């Protein structure tokens, strides 16, 4: 039995390695379209489940771990920005306010499935247009939910946060470890 990370995210890979896990990476493309008539928590949990199930079909006896992370402000869901304009718009909306980061997780091994969501609160500093444009032009916001990387220069945008920083980065390792460890025994 081996551990498989069903994600191509370098940040998730780094977190698992930091905590001493040995694993393979097997990622499949899925449709990540969200049903906006459902709560954000339901969407992020379903996407994590879909990512996990598509890989576990080929590896039913192994432990498959998947995750999906989104940023939520009121009823708006912010995934990864596709354009410079979208990144600027997202950061402008997050400026000076508290938003929620949701990481949906799925761990599947055989007939055992754990599927849950971990939440954190992040409050941004009040950002100037110049702050936002300089950050966006650094290129860091792309490929990151909410258009920022708290583990990088995006930390300078943050006033404070509540919860596990790994959840904000994209892998709630403190909640995942006991589940994986129990399956590895």
Fold category of 3-184 in CATH: Maf protein (3.90.950)
Inform me whether the pLDDT recorded for 100 exceeds 80: yes
Per-residue confidence (pLDDT) for residue 166, from 0 to 100: 96
Q: What is the pTM of this model?
A: 0.91
Per-residue DSSP letter, 166: H
Q: What is the pLDDT of residues 147-179, one digit of tens each?
A: 999 999 999 999 999 999 999 999 999 999 999
Confidence of residue 46 (pLDDT cuts 50, 70, 90): very high
Question: What's the full length of the chain, in residues?
Answer: 185
Q: Which of the four pLDDT bands, split at 50, 70 and 90, describes residue 109?
A: very high
pLDDT above 80 (res 69): yes
d(CA 168, CA 45): 15
pLDDT score of 185 more than 80: no
The pair of three-digit structure tokens given for residue 172, joined into one six-digit string: 């709630």
Given this model, what pLDDT does residue 151 score?
Answer: 93
Nearest residue to 126 (alpha-carbon basis) of 103, 86, 156: 156
State how far the alpha carbon of 82 is from the alpha carbons of 7, 37, 94, 134, 149, in Å: 19, 22, 17, 17, 15
pLDDT at 92: 97
- Average pLDDT of the residues in 58-79: 93
**pLDDT category of residue 103 using cuts at 50, 70 and 90:** very high
DSSP conformation class of 76: E
CA 6 – CA 108 distance, rounded (Å):
11
Active site residue 68: yes
Instruction: Give the residue-averaged pLDDT of 38-46.
Output: 94
Is the pLDDT confidence value at 36 over 90? no
Is the Cβ–Cβ distance between 78 and 32 less than 8 Å? no
Catalytic residue among 24, 31, 68, 76: 68
């Amino acid at each position: 039995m081996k551990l498989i990370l069903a994600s191509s995210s370098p940040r998730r890979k780094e977190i698992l390695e930091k905590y001493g896990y040995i694993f393979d990476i097997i990622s499949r493309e899925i449709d990540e379209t969200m049903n906006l008539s459902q709560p954000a928590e339901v969407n992020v949990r379903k996407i994590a489940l879909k990512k996990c199930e598509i890989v576990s079909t080929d590896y039913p006896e192994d432990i498959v771990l998947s995750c999906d992370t989104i940023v939520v402000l009121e009823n708006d869901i912010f995934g990864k920005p596709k354009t410079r304009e979208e990144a600027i718009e997202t950061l402008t909306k997050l400026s000076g306010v508290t938003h929620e980061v949701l990481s949906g997780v799925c761990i599947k091994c055989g007939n055992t499935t754990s599927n849950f969501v971990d939440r954190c609160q992040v409050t941004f500093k009040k950002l100037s247009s110049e702050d936002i444009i300089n950050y966006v032009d650094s290129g860091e916001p792309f490929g990151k939910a909410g258009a920022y990387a708290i583990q990088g220069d995006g930390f300078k945008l943050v006033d404070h946060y509540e919860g596990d920083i790994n959840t904000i980065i994209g892998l709630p390792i403190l909640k995942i470890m006991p589940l994986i460890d129990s399956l590895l025994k």
